[in-house]
A and B are shown apart, each in its own frame.
Chain A
Amino acid sequence: MEQVINIALPKGRLGERAYEVFENIGYGCPALRENSRRLIFESRENKVRYFWVKPSDVAVYVERGAADVGVVGKDILLEKGFDVYELLDLGMGRCRMCVAGVKGKRPNPELTLRVATKFPNVAREFYRKKSREIDIIKLHGSIEIAPILGMSDVIVDIVETGTTLKENDLEVLEEIFPISARLIANRVSYKFKNEQIQAMCRKMEASL
């Protein structure tokens, strides 16, 4: 008997685009299209159940088996390190993890580098490889202000188009790694719902 596949989608534009892909390959759930505040949607016909969750929580739901598969940005996987299967690069939500600083200004290499970021682990790892001593300032948003106010020398953040940087008079100094959305799966679900998850993967890969 085919079981229902539970899919965790990140709230927001990426999740909506990912859902379109699921819909196009036969995993549609019409109720999800209706404007509603509900967070769980199920299609008995297509044997899928979708949850809308905070983007940074998708991998938590998948790792703990509440969701069998999920769509999540590579930035979040690299920052937190989850024990899940990473089955596909969906190629959507493309952006870059970058080091940026105030235009025309270069940090003094003799001083400990002050780094403002939402991604302390990524920043730590990057500068450890460069043997550079850093002082991490963990922020939760509006990172761009930190170097302008002189609180930090640089920021480590996601850059999509670069417009926000430009408007705040910042520029990219170095690229750390490219980012895109990934299809992840729970390690145990992958085994018990193997045929269904593999079929989903194949269809998805063909549609990309």
Chain B
Amino acid sequence: MRQEELLLKKEEQVVFELRRLFEQYGYRRFEMSKFEEYDFYAENRSFLDSENILTFTGLDGKLLALKPDVTLSIVKNSRGSLDAADRVYYNENVYRARKEDKEYREIMQAGLEYIGPVDTYAVLEVLLLAKRCLEMIDGSYLMDLSHMGLVAGLLEETGLVGGKKKRLLKAIREKNVHELHEICESEGVSEEAGERLAALASIYGPFKETLPAVKALCRSERTRAAYAELSELSRCLEACGELSRVSLDFSVVNDMDYYNGITFQGFIEGIPNGVLSGGRYDSLVHKLGKRGGAVGFAVYVHLLERFWTQEKDYDTDVLLLYGKNADPAAVARAVKKLTKNGERVMACRENTGDMRFKRLLSMEGGEE
């Protein structure tokens, strides 16, 4: 085993592999400052997962924030436009409030963004890279695809807006068919439109095989266009031999103000939350006053921490005990010699009994 593999935790190794992968595909590293002005996040609050942002006052009196997100900063600084693509990746800590105990925590994210003229190839490239990332984490992964255009299109047909539309979207997210029916009934939405929403929420299955069920739900121009996009992606993935482990699931929904096309999520067996999340977010790019589209994803590296954690069997490989007459220089020479063999060595005066080691050496007075 190489020295770095020995020292790096598995999730750190994965991050290095991901970065190598992103570089190979022409993505450049985006290094961002630790802080952004608070107003920037306040203006785009609904894009962020959490309402809470860690803030403090800068030396010039301006309110600053520890970044809760990287994508916003990347889009703001991107040179991507309708004519030229900007491919960027990042590996950064972000600061978010934990829902359960309302405490802030630092979490590590790695991800990439493609900003510019997004065509089918760009979406395919990002999807394939997301698949590669999942594969690098573990072979038993699954990826779910959804399309916000299709979800938004079907919601539009109900005629409901604002809070009522949000309730429908929440029910789709929860695959809550009875709630969808209840809302539609109490709000006077036609039974037929309600049925189609319920069918959309229930859909789950292999990408290609599930497409016909989606097609049957599409009646408007908007939903048909979304279907055509999904269908083309399915063809491309199949042609690349990458259709396996990809499913359709419309409960993968993101904020409709920002996301407008394909959205996707990645899962690893044994980790109870999605470890990868991404999608097409042209609307965010436009909101930040830029032209062009964008698609990207993030890997939630902090979720991988426990996945590989193994009980540590030993505190050290060698416990080297030296007597009180031992020459310190001789002890130092012995330690150096042992570490040269790649072993971890701990030199102590006595064995206190609470140390776990593979072998015990002792030296009295002179050399070992």
Within B266-293, which residues are at the interface with A (CB < 8 Å)?
267, 269, 271-274
- Which of B150-158, B175-183, B355-363 lies on the face that meets chain A? B175-183
Q: Taking the complex as formed, is B142 at the interface, i.e. its CB lies under 8 A from any CB of chain A?
A: yes
Contact B178 A88 (CB under 8 A): yes
Q: Taking the complex as formed, is B174 at the interface, i.e. its CB lies under 8 A from any CB of chain A?
A: yes
- Interface size class on chain A is 10 to 19
Q: CA separation between A184 and B249, bound complex, in Å? A: 17
Q: CA separation between A89 and B272, bound complex, in Å? A: 23
Q: Taking the complex as formed, is A188 at the interface, i.e. its CB lies under 8 A from any CB of chain B?
A: yes
**Nearest neighbor of B171 in chain A, beta-carbon distance:** A86
- Which of B176, B177, B267 gathers most chain A CB within 10 Å? B176
Q: Taking the complex as formed, is A84 at the interface, i.e. its CB lies under 8 A from any CB of chain B?
A: yes
Q: CA separation between A89 and B249, bound complex, in Å? A: 21
**Nearest neighbor of A185 in chain B, beta-carbon distance:** B175
CB within 8 A of A63: which of B142, B175, B272? B272
List B contacts of A65 (CB < 8 A): 271-273
Q: CA separation between A194 and B271, bound complex, in Å? A: 16
CB within 8 A of A87: which of B175, B249, B269? B175
Contact A89 B178 (CB under 8 A): yes
Q: Return the CB mask of B220-261 against A: 1 if under 8 Å, else 0.
A: 000000000000000000000000000101010000000000
Contact B269 A85 (CB under 8 A): no
Contact B174 A85 (CB under 8 A): yes
Q: Taking the complex as formed, is B204 at the interface, i.e. its CB lies under 8 A from any CB of chain A?
A: yes
Q: Taking the complex as formed, is A191 at the interface, i.e. its CB lies under 8 A from any CB of chain B?
A: yes
Q: How far is the CB of B175 from chain A (nearest CB, A)?
A: 5
- Which of B249, B269, B272, B274 gathers most chain A CB within 10 Å? B272
Q: How far is the CB of B91 from chain A (nearest CB, A)?
A: 24
Q: Return the CB mask of A92-115 against B: 1 if under 8 Å, else 0.
A: 000000000000000000000000
- Which of A84, A189, A191, A198 gathers most chain B CB within 10 Å? A191
CB within 8 A of B269: which of A63, A88, A192? A192
CB within 8 A of A191: which of B144, B177, B178, B179? B144
Main secondary structure of the interface of A (DSSP, over half): mixed
Contact B274 A86 (CB under 8 A): no
List B contacts of A86 (CB < 8 A): 174-176, 179
Number of A-B contacts (CB under 8 A): 45
Known: A63-B272, A64-B272, A65-B272. Is A191-B175 also a contact (CB below 8 A)?
no
Q: Taking the complex as formed, is A186 at the interface, i.e. its CB lies under 8 A from any CB of chain B?
A: yes
Q: Taking the complex as formed, is A187 at the interface, i.e. its CB lies under 8 A from any CB of chain B?
A: yes
Q: CA separation between A2 and B118, bound complex, in Å? A: 41
List B contacts of A88 (CB < 8 A): 178
Q: CA separation between A84 and B249, bound complex, in Å? A: 14
Known: A84-B174, A88-B178. Is A191-B272 also a contact (CB below 8 A)?
no
Contact A187 B178 (CB under 8 A): no
Q: CA separation between A177 and B181, bound complex, in Å? A: 16
Contact B142 A192 (CB under 8 A): yes
Q: CA separation between A87 and B173, bound complex, in Å? A: 11
Q: CA separation between A87 and B178, bound complex, in Å? A: 8
List A contacts of B269 (CB < 8 A): 188, 192
Q: CA separation between A66 and B271, bound complex, in Å? A: 10
Q: CA separation between A156 and B273, bound complex, in Å? A: 33
Contact A188 B273 (CB under 8 A): yes
Contact B247 A191 (CB under 8 A): yes
Q: How far is the CB of A119 from chain B (nearest CB, A)?
A: 18
List A contacts of B177 (CB < 8 A): 87
Q: Return the CB mask of A192-208 against B: 1 if under 8 Å, else 0.
A: 10100010000000000
- Which of B144, B174, B179, B251 gathers most chain A CB within 10 Å? B174
**Nearest neighbor of A184 in chain B, beta-carbon distance:** B174
Q: CA separation between A187 and B249, bound complex, in Å? A: 11
Known: A186-B272, A187-B274, A188-B272. Is A85-B175 also a contact (CB below 8 A)?
yes
Q: CA separation between A88 and B204, bound complex, in Å? A: 16
Contact B142 A191 (CB under 8 A): yes
CB within 8 A of B273: which of A85, A187, A192, A198? A187
Within B130-179, which residues are at the interface with A (CB < 8 Å)?
140, 142, 144, 174-179
Q: How far is the CB of B102 from chain A (nearest CB, A)?
A: 13
List A contacts of B274 (CB < 8 A): 187-188
- Offer 11 A-B interface pairs, CB within 8 angstroms, sorted by A: A64-B272, A65-B273, A85-B251, A86-B175, A86-B179, A88-B178, A187-B273, A189-B272, A191-B142, A192-B142, A194-B204
6 shortest interchain CB distances as A-B pairs:
A65-B272, A86-B176, A89-B178, A85-B175, A86-B174, A188-B267
Interface contacts beyond A65-B272, A191-B144: sample of 20 additional A-B pairs, CB < 8 Å, sorted by A: A64-B272, A65-B273, A66-B272, A84-B174, A85-B175, A85-B251, A87-B176, A87-B177, A88-B178, A187-B251, A187-B274, A188-B267, A188-B271, A188-B273, A188-B274, A189-B272, A191-B247, A191-B267, A192-B267, A194-B204
